[in-house]
Amino acid sequence: MGFSIATWNINSVRLRIGLVERLLKEWQPDVLCLQETKCPQGQFPSAPLKEIGYGHIAEFGQKGYHGVAIVSKRPFTAQTSHDFCSKGDSRHVSVTFEGAKPIELHNFYIPAGGDEPDPKVNEKFAHKLQFLDELEAWSTQKAKAKGHRILVGDLNIAPLVHDVWSHKDLLKVVSHTPIETDAMKRIMAAGAWHDVMRRHVPEDQKLYTWWSYRAKDWNAADRGRRLDHIWTDAALAERSGGLQVHRDARGWQQPSDHVPVMARFDI
DNA sequence: ATGGTAGGAAGCCTA
Protein backbone atom coordinates (compact mmCIF):
# COMPACT_ATOMS: atom_id res chain seq x y z
CA MET A 1 0.00 0.00 0.00
CA GLY A 2 1.24 3.48 -0.81
CA PHE A 3 1.43 6.25 1.75
CA SER A 4 2.43 9.78 0.79
CA ILE A 5 3.13 12.63 3.15
CA ALA A 6 3.79 16.27 2.38
CA THR A 7 5.01 19.13 4.59
CA TRP A 8 4.70 22.88 3.99
CA ASN A 9 5.30 26.01 6.02
CA ILE A 10 2.32 27.96 4.69
CA ASN A 11 2.93 31.31 6.49
CA SER A 12 -0.77 31.98 7.24
CA VAL A 13 -3.21 29.26 6.24
CA ARG A 14 -6.17 31.64 6.06
CA LEU A 15 -4.39 33.92 3.59
CA ARG A 16 -3.19 31.00 1.46
CA ILE A 17 -5.99 28.43 1.73
CA GLY A 18 -6.36 28.62 -2.07
CA LEU A 19 -2.74 27.56 -2.49
CA VAL A 20 -3.31 24.66 -0.08
CA GLU A 21 -6.27 23.49 -2.22
CA ARG A 22 -4.16 23.82 -5.36
CA LEU A 23 -1.38 21.71 -3.87
CA LEU A 24 -3.75 19.02 -2.61
CA LYS A 25 -5.43 18.74 -6.02
CA GLU A 26 -2.08 18.63 -7.81
CA TRP A 27 -0.18 16.19 -5.59
CA GLN A 28 -2.99 14.30 -3.83
CA PRO A 29 -0.84 13.40 -0.81
CA ASP A 30 -2.49 11.16 1.77
CA VAL A 31 -1.42 13.63 4.44
CA LEU A 32 -0.29 17.27 4.46
CA CYS A 33 1.44 18.78 7.50
CA LEU A 34 1.31 22.57 7.76
CA GLN A 35 3.38 24.95 9.87
CA GLU A 36 3.04 28.65 10.67
CA THR A 37 -0.71 28.50 10.20
CA LYS A 38 -0.97 31.76 12.24
CA CYS A 39 -4.55 30.82 12.93
CA PRO A 40 -6.25 30.72 16.36
CA GLN A 41 -7.48 27.30 17.49
CA GLY A 42 -10.98 26.74 16.12
CA GLN A 43 -10.58 29.07 13.15
CA PHE A 44 -8.73 26.73 10.80
CA PRO A 45 -10.39 26.87 7.32
CA SER A 46 -11.39 23.19 7.23
CA ALA A 47 -14.49 23.33 4.99
CA PRO A 48 -12.83 23.76 1.57
CA LEU A 49 -10.34 20.99 2.36
CA LYS A 50 -13.06 18.57 3.50
CA GLU A 51 -14.88 19.23 0.22
CA ILE A 52 -11.90 17.91 -1.77
CA GLY A 53 -11.47 14.72 0.22
CA TYR A 54 -9.41 15.76 3.22
CA GLY A 55 -11.94 14.94 5.88
CA HIS A 56 -9.60 14.48 8.84
CA ILE A 57 -7.90 17.55 10.27
CA ALA A 58 -5.89 17.98 13.46
CA GLU A 59 -5.37 21.67 14.16
CA PHE A 60 -3.28 23.12 16.95
CA GLY A 61 -3.17 26.88 16.59
CA GLN A 62 -2.78 30.08 18.54
CA LYS A 63 -3.32 33.77 17.86
CA GLY A 64 -0.78 35.51 15.68
CA TYR A 65 2.20 33.19 15.69
CA HIS A 66 3.32 29.61 15.02
CA GLY A 67 0.53 27.03 14.62
CA VAL A 68 0.62 23.50 13.16
CA ALA A 69 -1.99 21.30 11.52
CA ILE A 70 -2.34 17.84 9.96
CA VAL A 71 -4.71 17.48 6.99
CA SER A 72 -5.48 13.91 5.94
CA LYS A 73 -7.52 11.73 3.58
CA ARG A 74 -7.06 8.86 5.99
CA PRO A 75 -8.56 8.70 9.48
CA PHE A 76 -6.25 8.97 12.45
CA THR A 77 -6.43 8.62 16.22
CA ALA A 78 -4.70 9.96 19.27
CA GLN A 79 -4.08 13.61 18.51
CA THR A 80 -1.52 14.87 21.03
CA SER A 81 0.89 17.74 21.49
CA HIS A 82 4.09 17.92 23.52
CA ASP A 83 4.87 21.36 24.98
CA PHE A 84 8.61 21.68 24.27
CA CYS A 85 10.18 24.39 26.47
CA SER A 86 6.88 24.67 28.42
CA LYS A 87 5.90 27.95 26.78
CA GLY A 88 2.49 26.88 25.56
CA ASP A 89 3.49 27.50 21.92
CA SER A 90 1.72 25.67 19.07
CA ARG A 91 4.83 24.05 17.67
CA HIS A 92 4.09 20.32 17.73
CA VAL A 93 1.11 18.14 16.92
CA SER A 94 1.05 14.37 16.56
CA VAL A 95 -1.44 11.77 15.31
CA THR A 96 -1.41 8.00 14.79
CA PHE A 97 -2.57 6.14 11.68
CA GLU A 98 -3.88 2.80 12.85
CA GLY A 99 -3.44 -0.42 10.89
CA ALA A 100 -1.47 -3.64 10.81
CA LYS A 101 1.56 -1.46 11.46
CA PRO A 102 0.50 1.82 13.07
CA ILE A 103 2.36 4.96 12.03
CA GLU A 104 3.03 7.74 14.54
CA LEU A 105 3.31 11.13 12.80
CA HIS A 106 4.91 14.22 14.36
CA ASN A 107 4.61 17.68 12.82
CA PHE A 108 7.08 20.32 14.12
CA TYR A 109 7.67 24.02 13.85
CA ILE A 110 11.03 24.63 15.55
CA PRO A 111 11.82 28.20 16.69
CA ALA A 112 13.63 30.25 14.04
CA GLY A 113 16.00 31.67 16.65
CA GLY A 114 16.29 35.37 15.78
CA ASP A 115 19.29 37.01 14.13
CA GLU A 116 22.16 36.84 16.61
CA PRO A 117 23.59 33.29 17.05
CA ASP A 118 24.56 33.83 20.69
CA PRO A 119 22.30 32.40 23.41
CA LYS A 120 23.76 34.81 26.00
CA VAL A 121 22.49 37.93 24.22
CA ASN A 122 19.60 36.52 22.16
CA GLU A 123 16.88 34.75 24.11
CA LYS A 124 15.22 33.55 20.89
CA PHE A 125 18.41 31.66 20.00
CA ALA A 126 18.61 30.30 23.55
CA HIS A 127 15.00 29.10 23.15
CA LYS A 128 15.89 27.36 19.87
CA LEU A 129 18.85 25.57 21.50
CA GLN A 130 16.75 24.48 24.47
CA PHE A 131 14.08 23.19 22.09
CA LEU A 132 16.76 21.15 20.27
CA ASP A 133 18.07 19.76 23.58
CA GLU A 134 14.58 18.65 24.54
CA LEU A 135 14.04 17.20 21.06
CA GLU A 136 17.23 15.15 21.50
CA ALA A 137 16.09 13.70 24.83
CA TRP A 138 12.61 13.03 23.41
CA SER A 139 14.17 11.34 20.34
CA THR A 140 16.27 9.10 22.58
CA GLN A 141 13.02 7.83 24.09
CA LYS A 142 11.44 7.45 20.63
CA ALA A 143 14.39 5.35 19.48
CA LYS A 144 13.41 2.67 22.01
CA ALA A 145 9.86 2.38 20.66
CA LYS A 146 8.82 -0.21 18.10
CA GLY A 147 6.65 0.60 15.11
CA HIS A 148 6.74 3.18 12.37
CA ARG A 149 7.27 6.86 13.03
CA ILE A 150 7.55 9.95 10.84
CA LEU A 151 8.76 13.42 11.82
CA VAL A 152 8.25 16.32 9.42
CA GLY A 153 8.20 20.06 9.53
CA ASP A 154 9.99 23.37 9.42
CA LEU A 155 12.99 22.59 11.61
CA ASN A 156 14.65 25.94 10.79
CA ILE A 157 18.08 24.29 10.41
CA ALA A 158 19.95 23.54 7.18
CA PRO A 159 22.35 20.89 8.47
CA LEU A 160 24.58 19.99 5.50
CA VAL A 161 27.06 21.94 3.38
CA HIS A 162 24.82 21.75 0.31
CA ASP A 163 21.64 22.54 2.23
CA VAL A 164 22.60 26.21 1.80
CA TRP A 165 23.67 28.31 -1.19
CA SER A 166 27.02 29.14 0.44
CA HIS A 167 28.34 27.11 3.34
CA LYS A 168 31.13 29.62 4.00
CA ASP A 169 28.85 32.66 3.98
CA LEU A 170 26.20 31.08 6.20
CA LEU A 171 28.39 29.64 8.97
CA LYS A 172 27.53 32.69 11.09
CA VAL A 173 23.92 32.91 9.97
CA VAL A 174 21.23 31.42 12.22
CA SER A 175 19.99 28.14 10.67
CA HIS A 176 23.46 27.00 9.59
CA THR A 177 25.76 27.77 12.55
CA PRO A 178 27.85 24.86 13.91
CA ILE A 179 26.09 25.12 17.28
CA GLU A 180 22.77 24.34 15.54
CA THR A 181 24.00 21.81 13.00
CA ASP A 182 25.88 19.97 15.80
CA ALA A 183 22.66 19.88 17.84
CA MET A 184 20.86 18.36 14.86
CA LYS A 185 23.64 15.77 14.45
CA ARG A 186 23.12 14.77 18.10
CA ILE A 187 19.39 14.41 17.49
CA MET A 188 20.06 12.14 14.50
CA ALA A 189 22.64 10.19 16.53
CA ALA A 190 19.90 9.31 19.03
CA GLY A 191 18.93 6.73 16.40
CA ALA A 192 15.20 7.36 16.06
CA TRP A 193 15.39 9.27 12.77
CA HIS A 194 16.69 8.95 9.23
CA ASP A 195 16.87 11.79 6.70
CA VAL A 196 14.55 10.68 3.88
CA MET A 197 15.20 13.68 1.62
CA ARG A 198 18.92 12.96 1.42
CA ARG A 199 18.29 9.31 0.57
CA HIS A 200 16.93 10.63 -2.74
CA VAL A 201 19.21 13.61 -3.38
CA PRO A 202 22.95 12.97 -2.84
CA GLU A 203 24.69 15.15 -0.26
CA ASP A 204 26.90 16.80 -2.89
CA GLN A 205 23.86 18.27 -4.68
CA LYS A 206 22.17 21.50 -3.64
CA LEU A 207 18.74 21.02 -2.08
CA TYR A 208 16.56 23.92 -0.86
CA THR A 209 13.02 24.30 0.47
CA TRP A 210 13.06 28.01 1.38
CA TRP A 211 14.00 31.23 -0.40
CA SER A 212 13.85 34.61 1.39
CA TYR A 213 11.15 37.13 0.54
CA ARG A 214 13.86 39.79 0.62
CA ALA A 215 15.66 38.80 -2.58
CA LYS A 216 14.98 40.95 -5.62
CA ASP A 217 14.65 37.81 -7.76
CA TRP A 218 14.57 34.67 -5.61
CA ASN A 219 14.82 32.34 -8.61
CA ALA A 220 17.76 34.06 -10.31
CA ALA A 221 19.69 34.60 -7.06
CA ASP A 222 18.77 31.08 -5.87
CA ARG A 223 20.06 31.73 -2.38
CA GLY A 224 18.02 28.97 -0.78
CA ARG A 225 18.24 26.81 2.31
CA ARG A 226 16.85 23.36 3.23
CA LEU A 227 14.89 24.22 6.38
CA ASP A 228 12.09 21.66 5.94
CA HIS A 229 12.66 17.98 6.59
CA ILE A 230 11.14 14.50 6.43
CA TRP A 231 12.54 11.96 8.87
CA THR A 232 11.39 8.40 9.57
CA ASP A 233 12.40 5.24 11.39
CA ALA A 234 14.95 3.07 9.59
CA ALA A 235 12.49 0.54 8.18
CA LEU A 236 10.22 3.20 6.70
CA ALA A 237 13.20 5.07 5.23
CA GLU A 238 14.12 1.83 3.44
CA ARG A 239 10.62 1.82 1.97
CA SER A 240 10.62 5.41 0.73
CA GLY A 241 10.04 5.36 -2.99
CA GLY A 242 10.12 8.96 -4.07
CA LEU A 243 10.68 12.58 -3.16
CA GLN A 244 9.31 15.80 -4.63
CA VAL A 245 10.28 19.38 -3.79
CA HIS A 246 7.79 21.80 -5.32
CA ARG A 247 10.14 24.63 -6.31
CA ASP A 248 7.51 26.05 -8.69
CA ALA A 249 5.24 26.82 -5.72
CA ARG A 250 7.69 29.55 -4.67
CA GLY A 251 6.65 31.36 -7.85
CA TRP A 252 2.88 31.06 -7.29
CA GLN A 253 0.81 34.20 -6.77
CA GLN A 254 1.40 35.57 -3.24
CA PRO A 255 3.53 32.57 -2.22
CA SER A 256 4.84 31.27 1.06
CA ASP A 257 8.62 31.62 1.38
CA HIS A 258 8.76 27.82 1.90
CA VAL A 259 7.77 25.22 -0.70
CA PRO A 260 5.99 21.88 -0.21
CA VAL A 261 8.03 18.68 0.08
CA MET A 262 6.51 15.19 -0.35
CA ALA A 263 7.79 11.66 0.22
CA ARG A 264 6.12 8.40 -0.81
CA PHE A 265 6.37 5.13 1.08
CA ASP A 266 5.44 1.55 0.27
CA ILE A 267 3.99 0.14 3.49
C1' DA B 1 28.34 46.12 5.48
C1' DT B 2 23.66 46.91 5.05
C1' DG B 3 18.92 46.35 4.16
C1' DG B 4 15.98 44.18 1.76
C1' DT B 5 9.96 41.64 2.15
C1' DA B 6 6.02 39.49 4.38
C1' DG B 7 2.00 38.45 7.89
C1' DG B 8 -0.65 39.33 12.03
C1' DA B 9 -2.08 42.34 15.39
C1' DA B 10 -3.02 46.64 16.65
C1' DG B 11 0.21 50.78 16.53
C1' DC B 12 5.49 46.33 16.87
C1' DC B 13 6.44 41.66 16.98
C1' DT B 14 8.39 37.58 14.38
C1' DA B 15 10.23 35.46 10.40
DSSP state letters, A114-169 = -S---TTT-HHHHHHHHHHHHHHHHHHHHTT--SEEEEEEE-----SGGGBS-HHH
For residue range A69-122, list pLDDT tens digits in order: 999 999 999 899 999 999 999 999 999 999 989 999 999 999 999 999 999 999
Q: How many domains does chain A have?
A: 1
Residue type, A248: D
The CATH number linked to A93 is: 3.60.10.10
3-state DSSP helix/strand/coil % of chain A, to nearest 5: 30, 25, 45
Instruction: Reduce the secondary structure of A16-55 to three states and give it as a string.
Output: CHHHHHHHHHHHCCCEEEEECCCCCCCCCCCHHHHHCCCC
Mean pLDDT, chain A, whole residue set: 97
Question: Facing residues of A56 across strands?
Answer: A72
In angstroms, how far is B12 C1' from A41 CA? Answer: 23
Contact between residue A123 and residue A77 where contact means Cβ atoms under 8 Å apart: no
pTM beyond 0.75: yes
- Tell which strand B nucleotides have any atom below 7 Å from a protein Cβ: 3-9, 14-15
Nucleotide at minimal C1' distance from the A216 CA: B4
According to DSSP, the β-strands at A148-154 and A103-109 are parallel
Residue-wise pLDDT tens digits, A227-240: 999 999 999 999 99
Please give the residue range of the domain that contains residue A213: 2-266
